[in-house]
Structure 1
Amino acid sequence: MALNKLTPASFNRKLQIGTTKTVQNPINGTSKQTFISQFSLYCAPYTRSIAYSYQLTAEQLEQVVVIIRHNPKVYEGIKCQYQGNLYSVVNDSMDDSNSYLTYDYLTLKLVTKGA
C-alpha cells in the first residue's frame, strides 16, 4: 500500500499498545503473562506484494506489518494487541521527513507462549 493511497478510511483496525505483567494465580501458584493496555490507536494493515513475499524467510512471513500515524509513544520492543493476538514491535520504520502528516510502518512479531 503506497503512502499516497492512504485515506482516513484505511485506518480501520484497532491496535492496543501496552505492557505485559506476570500475574500469579493464588489458587494453584501458576503464573502467566497478562497484557495491560495503556492506549489504543487505529492502524492500516499493510499488504505485501507477492514478489516481495518470495524474498522473505519463513520467520519474516509470520510477521505482520501495520501502518500508523507517527506516534512517539510507540517504539521497538513495546507490546501490542492486534486482531486478538499479542505482538511485540520488532521494527519501527519511521518517516523522518519534515511533513505535516507522517506514518510509521510497524513490524509486529507474534509473542509465543512460554517465551
Structure 2
Amino acid sequence: MPRTVSYSPYLFSERADFGTTKSILNENSGVNEPKFVKQFSLHVYPQKRTLDMQYRALGTNYQNAITLVVRHTHRINDQLEVKYAGELYKIINISSDDSANYQTYDFLTLQRIDGESGLNG
C-alpha cells in the first residue's frame, strides 16, 4: 500500500490568489487595460526544489518555474492565473491527487508572466 504524504498545517502559511486577466476600462484614460481579477484565494506551501530537481529542469520550460502545494480542490484548472508573492503566474502543470484519502494535495507548477509583454520570464 503506498504511503500518503502529509504536510503539517503550519507549512500553509502563505496565500495565493487565483483568477483571470480581464480587460477593465480605465476611467481616467478611457482605454481598456488588462487587470487581474481574483476569483478565490487558497493557503499554499511553496515547495523547495532539490538539487536533482534543479539539474533536471535546466534547459526546459520548468527551469524558472515554481511549485506550490495546495489542499486538493476541483476549483483549480490550467485556465486560471495565480497571483503569489506580488507576481503573476500561469499554471503550466497540475498534479492533482483525487484519491479517496482523507488529506490530499495538488502540486501546481507555475511560470511567471511578465507584466508588459505577457511573456514568461
TM superposition score normalised by structure 1: 0.86
Higher helix share: 1
How big is the shift at 1:4? Answer: 3.5
Runs of at least 4 residues off by over 6 Å:
none
How big is the shift at 1:20? Answer: 0.8
Q: Does the CA contact (< 8 Å) of 1:46 and 1:67 recur in 2?
A: yes
AA aligned to 1:76 is: D
Who is 2:65 aligned against?
63
AA aligned to 1:94 is: S
The one of 65, 74, 82 aligned to 2:84: 82
How big is the shift at 1:100? Answer: 1.2
* Cα distance between partner residues in 1 of 2:92 and 2:36: 17
Who is 1:99 aligned against?
101
3-state SS of 2:62 partner: helix
3-state SS of 1:91 partner: strand
C-alpha distance after superposition, 1:36-95 (max 9, x if no partner): 111111000101101220111264121110000011111112111000011111111011
How big is the shift at 1:28? Answer: 4.1
CA RMSD of aligned residues (A): 1.8
AA aligned to 2:52 is: A
Instruction: State the aligned residue count.
Output: 113
3-state SS of 1:55 partner: helix
* Cα distance between partner residues in 2 of 1:106 and 1:46: 10
Q: Could you tell me the percent identity over the aligned residues?
A: 30
* Cα distance between partner residues in 2 of 1:107 and 1:13: 16
AA aligned to 1:101 is: Q
